[in-house]
Amino acid sequence: MQRRKLIAGLVCLSFVGKESVSACADAIDTGAQAAFQAGNWAEAARLAEAANNEDNFVFAARAVATQIGFERPIRCSAQTMRRFRRLIDLVLAKNPQNMHAKLLDATYDLFRARQLGPVRAFVDGAATRGKRKLETLIRLSPNLAEAHGLLGNWHYEALRLASPRTANAIGASEARGRQAFARARAISPNDISFPFLEANSVLLLKPSENAAYAIILLQGVAHSRATNAWERTIKSRAQQLLALLQNRDVEGANNLALSWL
């Protein structure tokens, strides 16, 4: 993987895989929920989309986003990305103000930035478009934890991959990244995805300096109770990173985290 990029994508978009939908959601297809619980993201998306209503479309888009995140955006097929885009558009066509769809729309731009590569992402605008959408979302919905978590990761990855001048120009800040993660964890303290993503982010930015903080973040995740395939994957990855860091293999932990990009 190239270390010097002008894009800011995701370590792993795990938390977009959460099954939560809007507070007044229509009933989510039970088969889709079961498929998601089992880790069959593509089948979950297919079944939810077939239900043909706004909240099932959101669920379907989240399932595809989870698939892309775990399988790595840079390896995602054009067909899967088109499906993700189509599902987002189906939700927005029914309700342009759907906050979950807006979050997924920002996520799409972050995925695209990673796929385009350093120069093309910067020229295309994908490198910063996702960030702007997340900031708008946070102004509209300050308690949307996922938006804060994604924005926190954006800041860390922009600092890691861009030159200092470029990072400054696009508004990347370690302090703002840490604040965003702190806000996400405060809103959803029981969500294991935020400490996991933050641990990856700080470790990849400054491996040796941030190893101790990463251990603190990962310990809670590693000892959490996983109830579905998504949580089990997050927990397993946290345990792998934690074991390496506790054995003082910072380089190994850093390489492992890089392998998930």
Spatial distance between the Cα atoms of 63 and 19, rounded to a whole number of angstroms: 8
For residue 214, what are the contacts with CB-CB under 8 A and spacing of at least 6?
Answer: 199, 200, 202, 203, 241, 245, 253
Spatial distance between the Cα atoms of 172 and 101, rounded to a whole number of angstroms: 25
Eight-state DSSP code of residue 24: T
Spatial distance between the Cα atoms of 246 and 159, rounded to a whole number of angstroms: 26
pLDDT of residue 26: 56
Q: At what angle do helices 30-38 and 54-71 cross, to 10 degrees?
A: 10
Per-residue model confidence as pLDDT tens digits over 37-58: 999 999 999 999 999 999 999 9
Measure Cα distances from 7 to 4, 79, 187 in Å: 9, 22, 27
> Is the per-residue pLDDT at 238 higher than 80?
yes
> Is the per-residue pLDDT at 24 higher than 60?
no
Higher pLDDT, 86 or 15: 86
